[in-house]
Amino acid sequence: MIKKGILSLISFFYPPFSKIMPLQTFRYAACGGSNAVMGFFIFVTCHKYVFNEEQFDIGLYAFKSYNAALFVSTCFSFVMGFTLNKYIVFTTSNLKGHIQLFRYSLSLLLNLAINYFLLNFFVQYLNLDAVLAQIITTILIIGISYISQSYFTFKVKKTPDHHVL
């Protein structure tokens, strides 16, 4: 029922975009955009209000507030992102669910590493505000994420054609 509602909502807004992008790309943009907004909201909330823009000490290591916020937001984005991509965007993938989950995890770890390094570079070396740095980083990672999910995580496995002679 939720799936049907999400698909209906996306289909309602698709017609003006139908001449410039395929439905799957529009679905990815809609689902990925909503996931990015949710992740950004969690990032800002954690950075500013949960961690109060101060270090978060877990005993063995003290995280800068923006790094701790990044990890918290990634945990939430992981669940929502995988679910939306599997059931709304990449529905033609014929890979088994556990393979998709494993590949999505690998893709997410790559994106997290890139996000972590870019975020720290922008904040520590370019002296950008952590929130602005996260916005820029998210924009840069969107393309990498789409490519890895289209051609790796949720790809359609080619099956041998059976020709009748």
What pLDDT does 38 receive?
A: 97
pLDDT digit string (tens) for 70-109? 999 999 999 999 999 999 998 888 889 899 999 999 999 9
Other Cβ atoms less than 10 A from the Cβ of 94: the count is 10
Q: Are 112 and 74 in contact (CB under 8 A)?
A: yes
pLDDT confidence tier of residue 163, bands split at 50, 70 and 90:
very low
In this predicted structure, the answer to whether residue 7 has a pLDDT above a threshold of 60 is: yes
Report the run of H or E that residue 57 belongs to, with start and end. Answer: strand 56-57
Q: Could you tell me the residue ranges of all domains in the chain?
A: 21-153
> With helix as H, strand as E and coil as C, how does 98-165 read?
HHHHHHHHHHHHHHHHHHHHHHHHHHHHCCCCHHHHHHHHHHHHHHHHHHHHHHHHCCCCCCCCCCCC
What CA–CA distance (Å, rounded) separates 121 from 118? Answer: 5
pTM metric for this prediction: 0.86
CA distance linking residue 106 with residue 60, whole number of Å: 25
Span 30-52, pLDDT tens digits: 999 999 999 999 999 999 999 99
Q: Is the pLDDT of residue 153 over 90?
A: no
**Contact criterion met (CB below 8 Å) for 65 and 54:** yes
The amino acid sitting at 22 is: P
How much of the chain exceeds pLDDT 70, in percent? Answer: 96
Token reading at 126: 């370019």
Q: What pLDDT does residue 160 have? A: 63
